């Protein structure tokens, strides 16, 4: 519409600002605004056939740096700190024509599957204000679900795009490791688990974003050949697929009837259209070992992060600088040896191989995105006993600290156990909104394919969309 001059960038920006001003006080999805700069940019915007010319967008307040703007990471340590450079991901968004309006709310350093930082407060779900939007891209999900902007930037280190997509009735793609432009300085986030992308309402937007954000970066540790136009925009119909279905929790916890119903609805849809569907009786991956290894990697990465922060601050960080959960992760990471880290990193390669073998038999894996619908606004409150131990975490041994992390995350991981493996294996995975609970809460299904096969996931998503299987939030 912008390129055909049906609407101007200024009209789009002003409309989004008006919506944000009206809705955000009740949603708490936006934590930083740059509206005056956006309006000025929209006024002098030069149309050059950019694929997203003049489209307003919000960045996630976590690791998406734009020079001269505040990026808090949901942390009190950074509440007044302005970025010194613009990273490659944000540069590409600007090159594509997006006009940045500000930043969306996220948990401190993105550690949680809900968005409720002490700095900014909880993000309300646009579908039900008494529920949390999910995390860590909860603010971005609420911005899109509420209709403030059509897309919002997001990131995913363990499910942080797909979980809020499920909770808010959106499309959430986590691309393959190495697919989307990254860096400088962040090519290997959490040993390659973290990727940046977006939350959307349409498959077309998801596909177009992926096509233009992808980059084969030879300077990065994970170069991946770009998908061609023919691959991402196929002319032929979807071929008969071999679909594997997994509904059991990888951490042996309960999976809600709604989550199972959502998966079986999609499975029957595949089957009724001539695709081969197989219900897996055994998970190819040890989910508990995988999750424990994930904590070891994230602990070490967090300890390294705070070492760099201390260098910038010129002082040691203290318990009062951060939330208790962050403190516990940081202190536990100080005890992990290089050999232990390397052992876990090698296990990630083994998991990737196990999933690659699965995809020799099956084209896609269908499984829940989450085990439960969106939780309450402030869920997962820690017990007094556990809180006391986390405060005194330096008194415990290395193994005891890791056990405390398991207990700290146990309830939230029980609700969201299905997403982490694909960050670890590097595969693409997408959450699609196909179901609602009796209370009207969205719940998605997750589809995963072999590494590099986003094209297949998007072709399936488009088919679901055309057949009106998707139940995208319409606010």
Task: Write out pLDDT tens, residues 117-126.
Answer: 999 999 999 9
**What per-residue confidence (pLDDT) applies to 374?**
98
pLDDT tens per residue across span 313-351: 999 999 999 999 999 999 999 999 999 999 999 999 999
Verify whether residue 316 is a known catalytic residue. Answer: no
Q: What is the average pLDDT value for the chain, to the nearest integer?
A: 97
Residue 60: active-site member: yes
How many folded domains does the chain comprise? 1
Q: Is the four-CA dihedral 374, 378, 381, 387 of positive or negative sign?
A: positive
pLDDT of residue 348: 97
Confidence of residue 180 (pLDDT cuts 50, 70, 90): very high
| Percent residues over pLDDT 70 in the chain | 100
Under 8 Å between Cβ of 17 and 99: no
471 burial type by CB count under 10 A (0-12 exposed, 13-18 middle, 19+ buried): middle
Tell me: pLDDT of 352 over 90: yes
Catalytic one of 75, 137, 140, 160: 160
Residue 267 lies in a domain: no
What percent of the chain has a predicted confidence (pLDDT) above 90? 98
The whole-angstrom separation of Cα 23 and Cα 190 is 34
How confident is the model at residue 355, as a pLDDT?
98
pTM (global) more than 0.95: yes
Q: pLDDT (tens digit, 9 = 90+) per residue, 290-306?
A: 999 999 999 999 999 99
Q: Would 168 be classed as within a structural domain?
A: yes
Answer yes or no: are the C-beta atoms of 366 and 266 closer than 8 Å. yes
Q: How confident is the model at residue 194 (pLDDT cuts 50, 70, 90)?
A: very high
In this structure, is residue 369 part of a structural domain?
no
* 189 or 431: which leads in pLDDT: 431
Per-residue pLDDT tens over the stretch 364-409:
999 999 999 999 999 999 999 999 999 999 999 999 999 999 999 9
Torsional sign, CA 163, 254, 435, 470: positive
Instruction: For residue 428, tell me if it sits in a domain.
Output: no
Report d(CA 411, CA 81) in Å as an integer: 33
Q: Give whole-number Cα distances, 15 to 62, 170, 294, in Å.
A: 25, 21, 42
Using alpha carbons, list the distances in angstroms from residue 68 to 71, 82, 84, 85, 200.
Answer: 9, 5, 6, 8, 27
Sign, CA torsion 76/78/79/80:
positive
Residue 160 contacts residue 139 (beta carbons within 8 Å): no
What was the pLDDT predicted at 474?
87
The answer to whether 176 is a known catalytic residue is no
Between CA 388 and CA 391 the distance in angstroms is 5
Run of H or E residues at 339: helix 338-361
Report the alpha-carbon distance of residue 289 to residue 221 in Å, rounded.
Answer: 25
Residue 36 lies in a domain: yes
Find the catalytic residue in 60, 112, 389, 451.
Answer: 60
- Domain-located, residue 412: no
What are the strands of the beta sheet with 364-368, ordered from one edge? 152-156, 195-200, 171-174, 429-436, 442-449, 364-368, 242-245, 276-279
> Which residues span the domain enclosing 152?
9-237
Q: 């998406």: which residue's tokens? A: 64
3-state secondary structure of 472: coil
Q: Give the pLDDT mean for 446-468.
A: 98
pLDDT surpasses 80 at 447:
yes
Spatial contact of 472 and 169, defined as CB atoms under 8 Å apart: yes
Task: Give the pair of three-digit tokens for residue 214.
Answer: 């992808």
Q: What is the mean pLDDT of residues 215-240?
A: 96
d(C-alpha 426, C-alpha 399), whole Å: 27
Q: How many residues does the chain have?
A: 475
Counting beta carbons within 10 angstroms of the beta carbon of residue 444, is it exposed (0 to 12), middle (13 to 18) or buried (19 or more)? Answer: buried
- The CATH number assigned to the domain holding 209 equals 3.90.1300.10
The predicted-structure confidence for 23-53, as pLDDT tens digits, reads as follows 999 999 999 999 999 999 999 999 988 999 9
How far is residue 143's CA from residue 21's CA, in Å, rounded to a whole number? 12
What does the block give as tokens for 107? 């948990």
> Is residue 174 in a domain?
yes
3-state secondary structure of 270: helix
**Catalytic option among 75, 115, 117, 136:** 136
């Amino acid at each position: 519409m912008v390129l055909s001059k049906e609407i101007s960038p200024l009209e789009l920006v002003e409309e989004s600002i008006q919506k944000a001003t009206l809705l955000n006080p009740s949603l708490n999805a936006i934590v930083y605004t740059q509206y005056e700069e956006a309006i000025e940019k929209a006024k002098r915007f030069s149309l050059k056939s950019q694929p997203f010319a003049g489209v307003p967008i919000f960045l996630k307040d976590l690791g998406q740096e734009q020079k001269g703007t505040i990026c808090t990471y949901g942390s009190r340590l950074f509440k007044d700190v302005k970025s010194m450079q613009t990273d490659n991901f944000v540069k590409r968004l600007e090159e594509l024509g997006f006009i940045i309006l500000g930043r969306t709310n996220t948990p401190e350093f993105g550690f949680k599957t809900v968005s409720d930082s002490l700095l900014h407060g909880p993000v309300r779900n646009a579908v039900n204000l008494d529920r949390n939007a999910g995390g860590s891209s909860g603010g971005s999900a609420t911005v899109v679900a509420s209709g403030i902007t059509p897309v919002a930037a997001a990131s995913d280190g363990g499910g942080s795009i797909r979980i809020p997509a499920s909770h808010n009735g959106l499309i959430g793609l986590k691309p393959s490791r190495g697919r989307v432009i990254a860096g400088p300085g962040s090519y290997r986030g959490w040993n390659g688990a973290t990727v940046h992308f977006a939350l959307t309402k349409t498959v077309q937007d998801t596909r177009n974003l992926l096509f233009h954000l992808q980059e084969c970066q030879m300077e990065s540790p994970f170069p991946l050949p770009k998908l061609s136009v023919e691959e991402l925009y196929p002319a032929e119909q979807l071929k008969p697929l071999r679909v594997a279905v997994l509904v059991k929790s990888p951490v042996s916890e309960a999976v809600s009837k709604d989550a199972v119903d959502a998966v079986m609805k999609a499975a029957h849809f595949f089957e009724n259209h001539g695709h081969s569907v197989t219900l897996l009786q055994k998970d190819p991956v040890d989910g508990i070992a995988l999750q424990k290894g994930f904590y070891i990697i994230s602990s070490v990465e967090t300890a390294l992060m705070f070492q760099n922060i201390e260098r910038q601050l010129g002082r040691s960080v203290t318990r009062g600088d951060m939330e208790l959960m962050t403190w516990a992760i940081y202190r536990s990471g100080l005890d992990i040896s290089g050999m232990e880290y390397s052992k876990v990193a090698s296990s990630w390669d083994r998991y990737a191989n196990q999933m690659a073998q699965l995809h020799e038999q099956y084209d896609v894996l269908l499984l829940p995105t989450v085990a439960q619908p969106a939780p309450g606004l402030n869920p997962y409150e820690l017990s007094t006993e556990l809180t006391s131990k986390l405060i005194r975490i330096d008194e415990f041994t290395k193994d005891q600290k890791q056990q405390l992390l398991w207990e700290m995350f146990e309830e939230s991981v029980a609700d969201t156990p299905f997403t982490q493996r694909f960050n670890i294996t590097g595969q693409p995975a997408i959450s699609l909104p196909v179901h609602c609970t009796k209370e009207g809460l969205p719940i998605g299904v997750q589809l995963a394919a072999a590494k590099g096969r986003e094209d297949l996931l998007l072709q399936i998503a488009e088919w679901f969309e055309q057949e009106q299987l998707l139940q995208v939030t319409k606010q």
